[in-house]
Amino acid sequence: MTAPGFVLLALLLAGCAPPGERPSELPDGGASLGTTRPAPGPTVPLAKATPITPAGPVCSTAEISVRLNGSQRPSIALPTGCAPPAELVTKDLVRGAGTSVGRGTPVRMHYALATWSDRREVESTFGGEPVPFVVGDGTGVPGWHDGVTGMSTGGYRVLVVPPAKGFGQRGQREVKADETLVFVLHIAQAG
């Protein structure tokens, strides 16, 4: 092949493409397509990722289903297709008849906890010893203090706690950061 023919062949191979197609703009000419490579740019650790909450209308406590099982763990079913309430909300399941709970009242209560994002029941004291705390003293879950106010001994209540009044950005044990918490509370003793 002559020198001008070789140059012409090299130019054709390097920059030409069939009619209607353009050469690849990828640095390697597209040779890496179909191979697995890490995505460029910063990565976000999963532990810091914000839980996905459903879009749509905000759920009400009326859409949360609870089946009480005597002294055993209640069954909690959370709705799908709606977002969790952004504020602390409550729903009485059974009104108590004993001592009323207010700020400064020592209580012993049972709780069952479900997490909104994955609709899992993760913890319960039902069937065991109730948890002691004093309403307003800052111990336990921050939302408990507002959520139990007005309950009476023997009462059961659903309490939906937004992340800011729950475990916030730190999470805890099986609860992810920024999780909405759903409790079923039972006041075993007040006063």
For range 87-108, the mean pLDDT: 94
Q: What is the pLDDT of residues 7-22, one digit of tens each?
A: 333 434 444 444 443 3
- Higher-confidence position of 85 and 3: 85
Q: What is the pLDDT of residues 42-78, one digit of tens each?
A: 433 434 444 444 567 998 888 999 999 877 889 998 9
Q: What pTM did the predictor assign?
A: 0.69
Q: Identify the DSSP state of 23.
A: -
Instruction: Give the architecture (CATH level 2) of 61-190.
Output: Roll (3.10)
Percentage above 70 pLDDT, the chain: 71
Mean pLDDT, the chain, integer = 77
pLDDT band of 86, cuts 50, 70, 90:
very high
Torsion sign, CA atoms 92, 95, 96, 101: positive
Please count the other Cβ atoms lying within 10 Å of the Cβ belonging to residue 191: 10
Coil, strand, or helix at residue 190?
A: strand
Helices (H) and strands (E) in the chain, counts: 2, 8
**CA–CA distance, 36 with 51 (Å, rounded to integer):** 27
Does residue 151 carry a pLDDT above 90? yes
pLDDT band of 175, cuts 50, 70, 90:
confident
For range 183-187, the mean pLDDT: 95
The domains of the chain are located at 61-190
Of 103, 126, 121, nearest to 188 by C-alpha is 126
Q: What pLDDT is recorded for position 87? A: 94
